[in-house]
């Protein structure tokens, strides 16, 4: 086991999750991410936490629930870290753990490279400040319009609250991704209209070889043009997975487009839209799937006011 990984894990557990000696730490992993999870487990032990490592079979897609014994352990822990191929972020297990006071960090798709470079190395107090600023803009806003390459997608966010994913989960019930740095919101279901060019990456597909053109009508994804479009539609299915479920803005200046959406959606200068479940952060869709699509350097308007010009946030 790499000493460097254990040291980085210790730093993450202290700085981002406030882990203290004597607390209960549960590390959840699947077979594919066992090595990284073991580093976090060893770091927890070294910090004096009562540490438990739970390995499950890989889920089939992001947003699929973990087995019941794992969900139960997450509820009982002080701190839970989920290192898995597919995301547990938008699951009832994560939501219920947070509701019971657990501090939860989810690391879907985390790689060795991401663990030692990139977004995880950011100055998280700065990320937190920018994330909270953008979250406030979203919460105060009523209408969003995203423009890029002559395409425009708009939707309502009226009476919805922005959610900060700051990378710092120090109080009971705080949860989010690590590495982090995004502010996101659940668009009002059924209000999405227009099209958007996705040219960064898509969860489960990776960094895109060619851009994908997504068309949304009455809040649902009706077409995905491009080499990877069919795969996206298959993953989302024919049902509620097709609903526009999330709009997010990246706030981490150390994050890179790597093909792993966990890092890609945090990149400063990008936005992302996701389809599927949003009932864990203020929406009404429970689809058992949640797939993010990352867009580089768009123009973004909130209530017709330009807040992002080609990826740069406008003061």
186-231 per-position pLDDT tens digit: 999 999 999 999 999 999 999 999 999 999 999 999 999 999 999 9
Domain endpoint, select from 97, 116, 135: 116
- Same-domain pairing of 98 and 192: no
Q: How confident is the model at residue 311 (pLDDT cuts 50, 70, 90)?
A: very high
- Same-domain pairing of 61 and 137: no
- Same-domain pairing of 86 and 149: no
- Same-domain pairing of 152 and 267: yes
Rounded average pLDDT over 132-154 = 98
pTM: 0.86
Question: What pLDDT does residue 38 have?
Answer: 97
- Same-domain pairing of 77 and 185: no
Among the listed residues 56, 53, 55, the one whose alpha carbon sits nearest the alpha carbon of residue 41? 53
CATH number at residue 61: 3.40.1830.10
Contact (CB, 8 A) for 139 and 162: yes
pLDDT at 123 over 90: no
Domain endpoint, select from 116, 148, 176: 116
Within 8 A by CB and 6+ apart from 3, the residues are none
Among the listed residues 143, 141, 145, 139, the one whose alpha carbon sits nearest the alpha carbon of residue 162? 139
Sign of the C-alpha dihedral computed for residues 47, 52, 58 and 59 taken in this order: negative
Question: What pLDDT does residue 120 have?
Answer: 87
- Same-domain pairing of 130 and 240: yes
Contact (CB, 8 A) for 262 and 248: no
Q: Please count the other Cβ atoms lying within 10 Å of the Cβ belonging to residue 69.
A: 10
| Three-state DSSP state, 66 | coil
Express as a percent the part of the chain with pLDDT over 90. Answer: 92
- Same-domain pairing of 124 and 112: no
- Same-domain pairing of 251 and 276: yes
For residue 27 the two structure tokens come to 């590390």
- Domain residues for the domain of 111 are 3-116
Among the listed residues 20, 12, 6, the one whose alpha carbon sits nearest the alpha carbon of residue 172? 20
- Same-domain pairing of 133 and 79: no
Pairing of strands 201-202, 206-207: antiparallel
- Whole-angstrom CA distances from 230 to 204, 222, 264, 288, 291 are 13, 12, 21, 19, 14
Q: Into how many domains does the chain fold?
A: 2
- Same-domain pairing of 131 and 251: yes
- Whole-angstrom CA distances from 204 to 160, 228, 242 are 27, 11, 15
Q: Please count the other Cβ atoms lying within 10 Å of the Cβ belonging to residue 6.
A: 19
- Same-domain pairing of 94 and 36: yes
Tally of CA atoms within 13 A in the half-sphere of 19 that contains its CB = 29
In sequence order, what are the beta bridge partners of 308? Answer: 300, 313
Q: What is the mean pLDDT of the chain?
A: 96
Angle between helices 34-46 and 3-15 (to 10 degrees): 70
pLDDT at 306 over 90: yes
Domain endpoint, select from 91, 116, 141: 116
- Same-domain pairing of 17 and 34: yes
Q: How confident is the model at residue 115 (pLDDT cuts 50, 70, 90)?
A: confident
Among the listed residues 287, 310, 299, 296, the one whose alpha carbon sits nearest the alpha carbon of residue 186? 287
**For residue 247, with 0-12 CB atoms within 10 Å meaning exposed, 13-18 middle and 19 or more buried, which class applies?**
buried
Q: Which DSSP state fits 197?
A: E
């Amino acid at each position: 086991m790499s000493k460097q990984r254990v040291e980085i894990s210790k730093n993450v557990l202290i700085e981002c999750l406030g882990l203290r000696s004597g607390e209960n730490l549960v590390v959840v992993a699947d077979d594919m991410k066992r090595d990284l999870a073991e580093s976090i487990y060893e770091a927890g032990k070294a910090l004096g936490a009562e540490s438990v490592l739970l390995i499950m079979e890989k889920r089939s897609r992001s947003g699929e629930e973990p087995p019941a014994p794992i969900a139960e352990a997450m509820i009982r822990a002080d701190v839970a870290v989920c290192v898995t191929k597919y995301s547990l972020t938008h699951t009832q297990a994560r939501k219920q753990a947070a509701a019971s006071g657990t501090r939860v960090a989810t690391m879907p798709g985390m790689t060795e490279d991401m663990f030692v470079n990139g977004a995880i190395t950011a100055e998280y107090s700065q990320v937190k400040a920018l994330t909270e600023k953008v979250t406030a803009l979203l919460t105060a806003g009523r209408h969003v319009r995203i423009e890029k390459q002559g395409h425009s997608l708009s939707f309502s966010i009226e009476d919805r609250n922005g959610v900060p994913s700051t990378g710092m989960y120090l109080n009971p019930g705080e949860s989010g991704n690590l590495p982090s740095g995004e502010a996101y919101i659940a668009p009002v279901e059924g209000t999405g209209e227009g099209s958007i060019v996705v040219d960064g990456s898509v969860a489960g597909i990776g960094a895109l070889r060619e851009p994908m053109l997504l068309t949304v009508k009455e809040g649902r994804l009706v077409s995905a043009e491009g080499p990877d479009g069919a795969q996206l539609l298959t993953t989302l299915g024919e049902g509620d997975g097709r609903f526009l479920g999330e709009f997010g803005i990246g706030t981490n200046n150390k994050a890179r487009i790597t093909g792993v959406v966990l890092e890609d959606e945090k990149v400063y200068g990008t936005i992302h839209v996701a389809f599927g479940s949003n009932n864990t952060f203020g929406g009404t869709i429970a689809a058992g799937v949640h797939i993010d699509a990352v867009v580089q350097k768009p123009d973004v308007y909130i209530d017709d006011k330009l807040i992002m010009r080609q990826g740069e946030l406008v003061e």
